[in-house]
Amino acid sequence: MEPVIRVENLVKRYATRGLGRRVEAFTAVDSVSFSILPGSTLALVGESGSGKSSVALCLSCLERVTAGQIWFEGRDLSALQEQELRSVRPKLQLVFQDPANSLNARWTVGEIVAEPLLVQRRISKRERDARAAQVLEQVGLGADYLERRPRELSGGQRQRVAIARALVLEPRLLILDEVLSALDCSIQAQIANLLVEMQRAYGLAYLFITHDLGMAAHLADEIAVMSQGKIVEQGPAAKILRDARSPEVRSLLGASPVPREAMEGVREL
Amino acid sequence: MRFVLRRLGHAAFLLVGVSVLAFFFSTLAPGNYFDEMRLNPQISAEQLSALRAEYQVDRPMAVRYVRWAGAVLQGDLGFSFAYDTPVAPLLWTRARNTLLLTGTATLLVWMLALPLGVWSAERLGRPVDVALSWATAVLLIIPDLALALGLLVLVVRSGWLPTGGMVSVGFDTFSVVHKLQDVALHMVLPVTVLVASALPVLLRHVRAAVAEALQAPFLRAAEGHGISRRRLLYRYVLPAAAHPLIALFGFSIGTLLSGSLLVEVVMSWPGLGPFLLEAILARDLYVVIGGVLLSTLFLVAGNFAADLLLYWADPRIRAETTGR
Amino acid sequence: MRRILEVRDLRVAYARRDGGVWHALNGASFGVGAGEILAVLGESGSGKSTLAAALLRLLPQNGRITSGEILLEGADIVRMDALELRRVRGSGVSIIFQEPSLALHPTIRIGEQIGEVLRAHQALSKRRRGERAREILAKVFAGDIERIFSSYPHELSRGQQQRVLIAQAIACEPALVVADEPTASLDPITQREILALFKQLRDELGIAFIFITHNPALLAGFADRLLVLYAGKVAEVGPTEAVLSSPRHPYTQALLKCVPQIEGGEVLAPKTLLPVIAGAAPSMAVLSQGCGFEPRCEERMELCQIREPAAAMLDNRHEVSCLKYPA
């Protein structure tokens, strides 16, 4: 099977401004490669500063790549101009961590979800609204949410709206950047279930970025562990957990949810 | 230090730019001082052309500018056609009178606005604060001119205070104490108008800045440590509220020379405003440019002072500018 | 164990702008022993942040403690006057708020900010204050004390800022420190470091901690006792191991099931649907008559709608408030 997306030797460097003279380069992503099959999930795990969010920004073309290729539907995204990217963007959507900030507080939910349709400029207002209602229902929110505003919603509901907005253009790949981290436990479970259901129903591929190894292990087919811009371990989820080879995985395991471990005499802090 | 030098550089650049523009526009204005004289039958054409040659009005503008700029740098602001004396001392006496007025007014405004602003910010939304807001709104709406004239009328009718000017007749014969008293009495009216017009705006800003600082999370955290209200106010709230106010303070300094024109004219206060107005009407070139330059100097100095204060007061700005 | 904090039937309500009332705490009762680490587990709307603020009477303008007692070593905080309250804050009990970058004054150096706490409660010379502040910083930071002492908050990382908040909280060696989600905005590795720091401070200085969180993952091996808060009341409380391994309250059981289980390096049931708690967090605008969890409870009985459950002691100081367990 052809992968939905194939990343080859991706490099991202940021230039930090010195006062006019020194321009230091910071390598956020240092030659990263992976691919994602349709209908499957790759979890990108690492602590903050490991470069995972930079990968998300590069893949969604919100940042320009310094080197490397991103093969999506037969084309190299890193080589495309802004105009050409327009036709690609609908298929590759990004959902952020903080629902409070990624939704425009002045718009209604209906307007927020329909916004991508506006940009693509394809259909009439009535069709837009109908599509918005349809996709809201898919994420578990009824039509009565169309007129509500973000501030009236809970964290979980806002995240559902963000996901709905990402789904409205029928993407093939969703990049989920720490979408569960800000939510309560029981709500995390709900949204995780929603993601699993969406994947089963529509064959979506996910790049699930997180620092929560437990949730990553639960949702992903494959896990790639990042540290300081590089991938240090990569492979099927179960194998990564079982072998726990690299120190990064071991420390993340120590930091991950395991209430049951209380029974088994616990790890040292 | 680099920051200071950079700011000084900006200031100097601004001053030069303003002087060029002022010079340019003044000479662009149709006519010059001597045109008026042509109408005077008592001055012959030869005398006129001699005067013109003496004052070099017919040389090209660029040349005149360079000569003038060179002179300014040596402290010589040129010569007044109308008064036939150097410009600098003329400006200086007038400026001093203006500063007396505006300096006092500015001091009073800040001394009133700060405590009142803090006081009403602490009682935000409560009846006393609302009442104060209404009072300042009313004051804001009344035009300065109406206020000035109104007070003048009141004073004329009642005779409590002198009605205009800076000194009474026979000033030179007064004792020192009497002199001070006399000037002070003359100042009451114009200062009142100046304070009344500036206070509402500043008060609102102080109130807003303090109110915002009072909402800050770090204040709640500090309260949680058991720090007294008083200490919280002085050490935590005021410094946090200071930043928007520092910019305003710079502006206050900046308008020390230029903000009181209307009041000076209406109340016949012998300040810089009326003097410059006169000079403009008479096409007294060097007085006008000198005055503009002086005002700009204050404006620039005010901004510069604000920049320096802000740099000193906020370590985050320091970090930004040194690229840490 | 000697109890230093005793909270009895604490009720807190907020007055809303539309005239309504939000009942944040509805009769919370619990105790904390000297040197104990009590974890308070609750999700949004459970009242956990209200509880933290109420313990120091730092509620916002529209919040009020409507009834109940907060006995800190015998003295009732609810009834203290302004002066006693100011004295007890910071020296009897301190609080660490959630967002470290916001809880520190942006233009005052770290050393001074710690000095301010000392100043409020101890009469020390300026020099002595500086020395003491450095000593305190040395307790929470491994090294680099001088640099941190003269830094401004924006020059420190989030984890470092959080340590400074902790330093401020322990400065006057209070008997109890309340930490409101202190690790929420930190990454897992730093979170673990901060937890280790709490334990260390408890061991060295004998300070008790109330650690408020919504993340059950952090608690194993860290907290002595675990209290589960739901709808402004205590659902269950007991030794951490007991509550985590054999939760009795239906909410606790459901909550713990929500978290993906990793057992011995294996993932249980990957990519299946996690068991979720039906319904949503209750609206606290209306006080329910019976049990707050009843609408979402899978084991609800008719009685649960009418009668409020009282705390039933199970064993080993493990209490649960559920009608399944008669008091």
Q: Residue ranges of the domains in chain C?
A: 3-92+172-320, 93-171
| Domains of chain A, residue spans | 5-255
Q: How confident is the model at residue C28 (pLDDT cuts 50, 70, 90)?
A: very high
Can you give the residue range of the structural domain that contains B260?
96-279
| Degrees, nearest 5: CA angle C63-C66-C72 | 95
Q: How confident is the model at residue B1 (pLDDT cuts 50, 70, 90)?
A: confident
The CATH fold of domain C3-92+172-320: Rossmann fold (3.40.50)
Enumerate residues 6+ apart whose C-beta is below 8 A from B6.
none
Question: Is residue B47 a part of any domain in this protein?
Answer: no
The rounded distance, in Å, linking the Cα atoms of A234 and A240 is: 7
Taking an 8 Å cut-off on Cβ atoms, the answer to whether A184 and C240 are in contact is no
Residue A45 in tokens? 């795990």
Statement: residue A258 has pLDDT above 60: no
Q: Suggest the residue from C116, C152, C166, C185 to mutate for an interface test with chain B (most B CBs closer than 10 A).
A: C116
Residue B212: its H or E element:
helix B176-214
Q: Which amino acid is at B71?
A: A
List of chain B residues whose C-beta atoms are within 8 Å of the C-beta of residue A17: 323
The rounded distance, in Å, linking the Cα atoms of A115 and A90 is: 12
The rounded distance, in Å, linking the Cα atoms of C40 and B224 is: 20
Q: Count Cα neighbours of A267 within 13 Å in the Cβ-side half-sphere.
A: 19
| A67-72 and A5-17 beta bridge pairing | antiparallel
The rounded distance, in Å, linking the Cα atoms of B75 and B86 is: 11
Question: Is residue B65 a part of any domain in this protein?
Answer: no
Q: Is residue C109 within 8 Å of residue C151, measured between CB atoms? A: yes
Statement: residue B152 has pLDDT above 90: no
Enumerate residues 6+ apart whose C-beta is below 8 A from C278.
C296, C298
Predicted confidence at residue B324, as pLDDT, reads: 39
Tell me the per-residue pLDDT of B29-67, one tens digit each, with 9 for 90 and over.
666 666 666 666 776 777 777 776 666 666 677 777 787
Q: Which residue(s) pair with C36 in the sheet? A: none
Q: Which residue(s) pair with C28 in the sheet? A: C10
Phi, then psi, of B113 in degrees rounded to 5? -65, -40
Question: Is residue B285 a part of any domain in this protein?
Answer: no
Taking an 8 Å cut-off on Cβ atoms, the answer to whether A18 and B322 are in contact is no
More confident residue, C75 or B60: C75
Q: Is residue C297 within 8 Å of residue C291, measured between CB atoms? A: yes
Residue C156 in tokens? 């420190």
Cα separations in angstroms, C30 against C8, C90, C96, C165, C319: 7, 22, 20, 26, 10
Predicted confidence at residue C267, as pLDDT, reads: 62
Residue C10 in tokens? 């604490």
- State the count of interchain CB pairs (< 8 A) between B and C: 83
Candidates 3.30.460.80, 3.10.150.10, 3.40.50.2000, 3.40.50.300; CATH matching A5-255: 3.40.50.300
Residue B217 sits at the chain A interface (C-beta within 8 Å): no
Residue A242 sits at the chain B interface (C-beta within 8 Å): no
| Degrees, nearest 5: CA angle B281-B285-B289 | 105
The rounded distance, in Å, linking the Cα atoms of A240 and A224 is: 9
List of chain A residues whose C-beta atoms are within 8 Å of the C-beta of residue C225: none
Statement: residue C98 has pLDDT above 60: yes
Question: Is residue B208 a part of any domain in this protein?
Answer: yes
Question: What is the average per-residue pLDDT within A1-30?
Answer: 80
Q: Is residue A259 within 8 Å of residue C258, measured between CB atoms? A: no
Length of chain A: 269
The rounded distance, in Å, linking the Cα atoms of C58 and B220 is: 8
ipTM of the assembly? 0.87
Statement: residue B262 has pLDDT above 70: yes
Closest-approach residue (CA) in chain B for C167: B225
Phi, then psi, of B124 in degrees rounded to 5? -50, 130
Q: Which amino acid is at B230?
A: R
Question: Is residue B104 a part of any domain in this protein?
Answer: yes
CATH at residue B230: 1.10.3720.10
Taking an 8 Å cut-off on Cβ atoms, the answer to whether A193 and C273 are in contact is yes
The rounded distance, in Å, linking the Cα atoms of B99 and B96 is: 5
Predicted confidence at residue C290, as pLDDT, reads: 84
Cα separations in angstroms, B177 against A192, B165, B170, B187: 85, 19, 14, 15
Question: Is residue B50 a part of any domain in this protein?
Answer: no
Predicted confidence at residue A28, as pLDDT, reads: 87
Tell me the per-residue pLDDT of C271-301, one tens digit each, with 9 for 90 and over.
778 888 887 788 888 887 888 888 888 888 8
Question: Is residue B230 a part of any domain in this protein?
Answer: yes
Split into its structural domains, chain B has a count of 1
The alpha-carbon gap from A219 to the nearest alpha carbon of chain C, in Å, equals: 5
Question: Is residue B297 a part of any domain in this protein?
Answer: no
CA torsion, points B211, B216, B218, B219, in degrees to nearest 10?
30
Residue A18 sits at the chain B interface (C-beta within 8 Å): yes
- In the complex, which subunits touch A with 3 or more CB pairs below 8 angstroms? B, C
Question: What is the average per-residue pLDDT within C173-197?
Answer: 89
Predicted confidence at residue A259, as pLDDT, reads: 42
